[in-house]
Structure 1
Amino acid sequence: MKQLIIVFILLALTIAALFANSLYDIPYLRQIYFTLLWLTIIHFFFKVILERAITRGVGDAKTRYEISKILSILYVVALLLASIRIWIADPQVLLVSYGLVAAGVTVALQDLFKNFMGGLIIFVSGTYRVGDRIEVNSKFGDIIDIGILNTTLFELKEWVNADQPTGRITTIPNGFVLNTNINNYTKDNPFIWDEITVPITYDSDWKDAHERIINIVSKETRNVTVAAQNQISELSKKYYLADGIKGPALYLTMTDNWIELHIRYLTRARERRQLHDKLSRLILEDIQKDNRITIASATFDITVRNAD
């Protein structure tokens, strides 16, 4: 209502300037009339039509605020361009003035336009979708909303171990898609590789440990492995994949203190910690049944010398 009253006041001033220009031969009265006319048109378009459209069409308060901020800057720019065109007759001066205005707009809106273009790229290319789990700029999270200018994540990790939520809502600008790598854990393929390391002493029967661990993990991940193989077969139709997915694999590493057995297996991205915990418990319980296998831990030799 307030903006409509302003429009009516501007319209009344425009009509008054029109009559004054027709009755009196006063310098610059014509420019004043055209200035008021364009001010009325621009104000009505930005402050009445567009703002009502944003209020009705954009539900998110933050996005609505950011769009309103852009429109406010464009409103001032439109007024400046119209005023310069009316009051400056010299083409060279007019061109320079337009260049200065364009430079100012570029500086003022560079981040907003960058985020807007990033939003368009996300929507058009499908870089990620709501529900995907991504990592960007060392931020992990599940996407809960994709706006025109920002993406909202339900944050993971940080001070919480593994892939567990922190409870915080994180907002990141869409402009990062233009120059930042994005790791998507669930797009096209919801399966990832995980690894558990089991250290055992050198006097342990590492061959028996190897067999026990590989049997446990193969049994517990059989269904996941089959599902992942089917998914990769479909994925190979879209991307070039040199090697197919095989089952769990165990690798051995010798260190100065113990033997490390690294078991590598497939898991669903959203179930990584749960499966990691389950397998770790089963492996520990099974190894503790065999006296020939001992879990290694760090040891220290302490030498005590007399003060003399």
Structure 2
Amino acid sequence: MPDFLQNYFDGLTESVFSTLKTPDAYLNKIALTAIIIVIGILLYMLLKKIVTRNESDFKRRIRTRKFLKNTMSTLTLLSVLFIWVQAINVLILIALLSGVFIAFMVRGLTTNITAYFVIRYRKYFEIGHRIEINNIIGDVIDITPINVKMLEVRGGLSSDSNTGRIIKLPNSIIFDESIEVLGIANKFVWHELKYVLSFDSDWEAAEKIMTEAGELYFEETVLPQLKETNGHLPADPAALRPVFSVDTNDAGIVLIVRYLVDYIQGTSVKTYLQRKILPQLITHPKIEFAIAEVKLFRG
């Protein structure tokens, strides 16, 4: 701590202790402090009642109450300080506290601006990319020197659809949290469809239906998008084709088809594949979906 601040606080401490050593002055200041606190509380309650009676808008009423509470608390605190400390010391304390507050705000602002340039010039992400931070998923719609604005995706919905809510996150979050970004190297991610069939179903027939639908989608949609995006196919396009897997659990036979999809089209592609696969599975005479039995017991 600088010498002038150390000397100031030493003098302030001595002033307070000298007051405590004088019983009459000590008791008088306690009485004045109590009176000021009571007056502050009563005045706040009166103003609060006036606002409640005359302001019909709920949001505006809440904001006004909060403003009154903060104002009365600040005035009461300053009045108490003037009682216990010399006026010049009160002004110095206010200046010091204001300086600390401004330094804190400037530090946060500086960090956000620094993060802004990191995002821009290190290509962390760009407008249009889908990112996930702290389990919050959204499409970036704006990057300002202070914050990142995202159009929320999913947010409790069962599909990868926009909720309509806009989320603002401070730029400095990139220094504190891990970020998953889609749409930088490529726009494709893996999704999957899962069906559970009864044990006596013809799962091989179901495999054929699911595989054909996945292959058709790959040929008609994924390959043209890859050519358009990259200008050429990857060295091993077979690695990008749909993948079929089979497993079992207590309910039945689990069939899964994994497929590549543009992350923006995840919900629409899933619906497209469901419409291709479900009618064939439902109408097939040797395929039945597993149905878990639900039993109600009465005590």
TM-score, with length taken from structure 2: 0.60
Structure 2 residue aligned with 1:259: 253
Structure 1 residue aligned with 2:4: none
Structure 1 consecutive aligned stretches of length 4 or more whose deviation exceeds 4 Å:
100-106, 227-236, 241-244, 301-304
Alpha carbons of 1:207 and 1:232: their partners in 2 closer, same or farther (altered >3 Å)?
A: farther
CA distance in 1, matches of 2:237, 2:213: 25
Structure 2 residue aligned with 1:201: 198
SS in 1 for 2:172: helix
The superposition leaves residues 259-294 of structure 1 with CA deviations (integer Å, 9 ceiling, x where unpaired) of 110110011111100110111122110112211011
CA distance in 1, matches of 2:108, 2:297: 62
Structure 1 residue aligned with 2:117: 120
- What letter is aligned with 2:243? A
SS in 2 for 1:161: coil
CA contact (8 A) 1:214 1:248 kept: yes
CA distance in 2, matches of 1:183, 1:222: 29
Structure 2 residue aligned with 1:293: 287
How many residue pairs align between the two structures? 202
In the alignment, which of 170, 176, 181 is matched to residue 178 of structure 2? 181
CA distance in 1, matches of 2:253, 2:135: 32
Post-superposition shift, 1:157?
A: 1.2
Structure 2 residue aligned with 1:245: 239
Alpha carbons of 1:173 and 1:148: their partners in 2 closer, same or farther (altered >3 Å)?
A: same
SS in 2 for 1:273: helix
Structure 1 residue aligned with 2:273: 279
CA contact (8 A) 1:232 1:244 kept: no
SS in 1 for 2:239: coil
CA contact (8 A) 2:194 2:256 kept: yes
Post-superposition shift, 1:246?
A: 2.5
Structure 2 residue aligned with 1:224: 221
In the alignment, which of 261, 264, 270 is matched to residue 270 of structure 1? 264
CA distance in 2, matches of 1:195, 1:134: 20
- What letter is aligned with 1:165? N
CA contact (8 A) 2:196 2:251 kept: no
CA distance in 2, matches of 1:167, 1:179: 27
CA contact (8 A) 2:112 2:147 kept: yes
SS in 2 for 1:271: helix
For residues 65-214 of structure 1, the aligned pairs below 5 Å read 106-214=103-211
- What letter is aligned with 2:145? I
The superposition leaves residues 87-109 of structure 1 with CA deviations (integer Å, 9 ceiling, x where unpaired) of xxxxxxxxxxxxx9997765343
Post-superposition shift, 1:135?
A: 1.3
- What letter is aligned with 1:152? K
CA contact (8 A) 1:247 1:265 kept: yes
SS in 2 for 1:119: helix
Where structure 1 has 5 or more consecutive residues not aligned to the other structure, the ranges are 1-99
CA contact (8 A) 1:116 1:149 kept: yes
Where structure 2 has 5 or more consecutive residues not aligned to the other structure, the ranges are 1-96
- What letter is aligned with 1:207? E
SS in 2 for 1:197: strand
SS in 1 for 2:152: strand
Alpha carbons of 1:187 and 1:262: their partners in 2 closer, same or farther (altered >3 Å)?
A: same
What RMSD, in angstroms, separates the aligned Cα atoms of the two structures?
Answer: 3.1
CA distance in 1, matches of 2:291, 2:218: 28
CA contact (8 A) 2:152 2:163 kept: yes
SS in 2 for 1:221: helix
